[in-house]
Structure 1
Amino acid sequence: MGAFFAALIATLLVAAPSAQATTPSPSPSPQSFQNNISGFLRDDARAPIPGVRITATGNNFEGSATSGANGSWNIGVPVQGTYTVELDTSTLPEGIKLADGQENPRDVTFSQTTNLSVIFAFGKGIVVQEQDFGQNLLNRLVAGLSFGLLLALASVGLSLIFGTTGLTNFAHGEMVTLGALAVFAFNAWGLPLWIAIALSLLVGAGFGFIQDTGLWKPLRRRGTGLVPMMIVSIGLALAVRFVFQFFFGGATQQLPGAQVINVEIGPISVSPNTLWSLLVSAVVIAIVGIGLLKTRLGKATRAVADNPALAAASGIDVDGVIRIVWVVGGLLASLGGVLWAYYRPGVTWDMGSQILLAIFAGVTLGGLGTVFGALIGSLVVGIFIELTSLVLPPDLKYVGALVVMIIVLLFRPQGILGRRERVG
């Protein structure tokens, strides 16, 4: 069951004394709070700026932090709300100054998340963005393509599970979180990063296997309806999420290599991690697509998704196919979590739930139960989210994608590639 793997990762996190050594971070706040205001200080050459003091005041609270060697800072706050964040310019290294037009101090407000990211621009950062909108648009398109493919990894697994079982799994976000937490825990244990990533994929696959064997298969055999099973998935999501929070804490941690300098490819300035995420996601999704179309297991999976009773009558082991789907879904979600940790960047206890709505939007927009629909829907959602960040505040960029999903479904309820008979 999910709690078993949550406890396993929790044990790894608790028993990993080298976690802080692996990821340099500023000194913790005097008090430990669930809500955090954090960020990274980097100059216009993308180099980290250590030793800078930042304060946050509001709601009868005042806290401060000093940026660490990698430029990261974090201030725990007691309650969500509006805070005034100020960077002490007297602590900036010589020759570095805030960009023209950068507001300091500035008011920031939490919006449906316990982690609020605040970015300060230095040098000519703000001026360049204002003057070269076309270049910024290209950068957002590349980032949106990478984000869309990242969403597709999780969406494809969710769509496979829905197609074969009919279950809308609200615990899928925790499967995404598990991948990132597992990499952080294994790396904190001193394992090389590539081994930590490989083990995290195995943990994700095992999480899917345990879920189906210990929870969903018994419920199916008892004839439990889809609505009660959906409610069970919500309870599982909440239980696992807060186990993560209890052992991991509310702070944002970084994986090795998460903070890198952007590379210039023609007019595009992009992070190498974004390019790697794009490449890995595209290759994995292509492999899954070929497997579904060409292999015997893929054909059996599609048969179970179309008609489980007829598939069973044809000699297909329906339970076996569903179990493999859960394993593959867990593995893909775990990989998506790793890439999401590098894309953000950062590892938090609720990072999967933060993009759960975007994952559901991709699946629904593409067509429930259709793998290739989930891919197309996720690409649309990912690109749209990044493009709307050009005109909307960061806290509102997910709203546009959800509005588009609602509009599309008003005119095509089955989604882009869905079939009408799947609705209702």
Structure 2
Amino acid sequence: MVTRAWIRWLLLHGLTRSYLLWSARRGDPLAQIVFGQDRLLGASPFIEEIRERGRLPKLSGAHVTADYALCRHILRDNRFGVVTPNHVVIPKPIRWVLAKTDRELPNLAEPPSMLVTDPPEHTRYRRLVGQAFSPRAVAALEQRAVEVTDGLLERLESKPQPDLIEDFAAQVPVAIIAEILGFPADMHSTMLKWGFNSAPLVDRALSWTTYRHATDELAEVKQYFDQRIDMLTAEPGDDLLTVLVTSDELTRREQIANAALLLDAGFLTTVNLLGNGIALLTSHPDQLGLLLAQPELWPGAIEEILRYDCPVRMTARMANCDVDIADQHIKRGSLVLLSLAGANYDPGVFPDPERFDVTRANAADHLAFSSGVHGCLGYRLARMEGVIALRTLFERYPDLRLDGPPIPRRLKNLHAYRSMPAKLTADPGSQAERTGR
């Protein structure tokens, strides 16, 4: 089993990792980005170097862009598709080995995950689950999000130095997605463990240790969903997982893969949004002051947080045919890397992009939720949870201060914090108002 996993890692990550490490040492800006040598990818000197080389330069064997218009266009252009281990341009011997070493784990970054399948399969998966994230469905969850947030903040009062990631930012979205999927409350900590430990798989060029740890976690996820699906087949519920289980359109593998995707995607992005938002607002007290004085600015502030500190830094597409674009000829099978964070700092779209401004008029034009057919399914839910959680937190604790620098997660593509110790000071007036509501 270990040998099969190692071979799979070598083909999917190891060879690319060796090449990119060599390229990074030679000063290649794309390779340096992949290995996390910049924190805020949108404003990094590496991204600026890529901009200087043109709209779509070729680096480390791939075309790359941080141009907003080009990123948005490619995301919406059906001549480009998602990148998968089974892609047709991969040599047949390698595809054969990958098929033989496939443990059918519910990996977010491998088919049949909705994240890495194109139409018509993607359309079929998305149609089944889309209603759970419709405007009406999300509006129906608002009161529950308020209740969850209030309950968490009440418990924070008993902790003199809470961790705002572990005790708050992670708990709000996991509680909501658990209810959508029909998971009991005592599963929240397990869900968080699964999501955080498997999150590195969305990165490229993983180390063997990281890859093995993440895939071992997925084996546990697969076993749980196998048992859960058997239970729901016998006794269906009224939750989203039951929708997947009772559909005759999906195979067992498709059910498990997309259930796991909904679990992870249902909270990971929002955890990062909340954590990044807390870090930004505590370090920009003038902007926080505006929000406390004008609460109607909160929806726009969430958009600016997403633009300024994009939770997902980069995505990739592969040309399905020969394409001429941005004065470049892209051959069929060529890889194109799209810096979403870099696009969100495009000065031609967002003037003075390095300024964090909660009143920015066009902040919602960001690409943090991607675009096109693969645009984030749960974007409405994430925005709603972001507004409620951050507004309630800072209205209750307007003098909140971080107790030292927040500790980031060691991820390349997801910008997230692992820990954020804080000191709380409640606002008596706000507390009295909330108690009386």
Report the TM range for the smaller structure's normalisation: under 0.3
The alignment's TM-score, normalised by the length of structure 1, stands at 0.27
